[in-house]
Structure 1
């Protein structure tokens, strides 16, 4: 096997964060749901909460089928250090447009048991991370992609740290104003708690 094939459902949907030689196909993964249920300390000692997935009958989530050379696996595993790969049946992925069969070896990253906990005030969602994720959905599927992300993701009781002015997420991007307005609107609609970034006062 010269390539690896995996399903991205969070920051991996933002193709600007992928390896330069990666290819991608937008589509849906059947039988899974996203959730804000992976937390722990980042390299800087800051507690953060990220996305993971869990099996759920009759559910499906949008994302990308990503393929890249096998020699990129070590770097990908370092990026997904809180996760472990989980094998997927190729038939669980439905492409938005006809494509060749993904073949064997398709996998998705899900939280390691020791990190599989809901985020909280000590481990919040970084707004810069959320913006990066949703820029990917916005570019692939427009406003409907952002709406769909909110509707198919569990855990909006987890607070968001407002770090846009001083991003803490290492792959932070500069998102379109229209996207940021939509993200804020969707957060308000779900009464997502926002924590002010105290570092901005220093």
Structure 2
């Protein structure tokens, strides 16, 4: 393990933070696996005022819970400490949780910093999504595009298989007119691949 310099932070992304398109310029993304945590669709909140189309809209975001024996893929992000206030604002209904030394294993074998953390949904928001707090398709697309960029088809399958809640939390079809402020444009091929994968886990959809 190496020590971070005074102007650095290092955090694990398991959802939208895996996608480099949502990160500040100059960050370093290190793909790998985290032990001891399980990913789930259990993070309900409403968009804050002034956040574009998200203002006042109920949504379900990804969260994680501690679970011995569980392993999830994701990305460790090296960033500057100057970007931490903006990151905390983005993850406003999450709290920073320190990660145990050695819990993250990078795919590349790179030596990792000793002081790392992730964002865990705060208790008051840690509820399973529902019709009033659905998964935004535009958010899921962004997350899954990040996994595809790092690991290809295998990454997509891993994400779907290691995320709890597909069978209980509906997805709002907003791909063509996204609510998510960091929405990305998918190729037709990737969109079709994602849709097929979600059908395989019996994902349910809402239309509004």
| TM-score interval (norm. to shorter) | over 0.9
Query: Is structure 2 residue 149 aligned with structure 1 residue 139?
Result: yes
Q: Which protein is richer in strand relative to its size?
A: 1
**Structure 1 segment 59-138 matched on structure 2, within 5 A:** 59-103=70-114, 105-138=115-148
Q: Structure 2 matches for 1:180-195, cutoff 5 A? A: 180-195=191-206
User: Matched residues in 2 for 1:170 and 1:73: separation?
Assistant: 19
Whether the 8 Å CA contact 1:90–1:101 is kept in 2: the answer is: no
For residues 38 and 170 of structure 1, what CA distance do their matches in structure 2 show? 17
* TM-score (structure 2 length as normaliser): 0.92
Distance across 2 between alignment mates of 1:88 and 1:24: 17
TM-score by length of 1: 0.95
1:24 deviation in Å? 1.2
Q: 5+ residue gaps in structure 1?
A: none
Does residue 20 in structure 1 map to residue 25 in structure 2?
A: yes
Q: Distance in 1 between matches of 2:187 and 2:19?
A: 13
Matched length: 196
Offset from partner CA, 1:10-67 (integer Å, 9 cap, x none):
0000001101021111000011110000001112111000001011111111110101
Query: Does structure 2 retain, via aligned residues, the 8 Å contact 1:84–1:112?
Result: yes
Q: Point out 4+ residue stretches in structure 1 off by more than 4 angstroms.
A: none
CA-based RMSD of the aligned residues comes to 0.8
Aligned twin of 1:178: 189
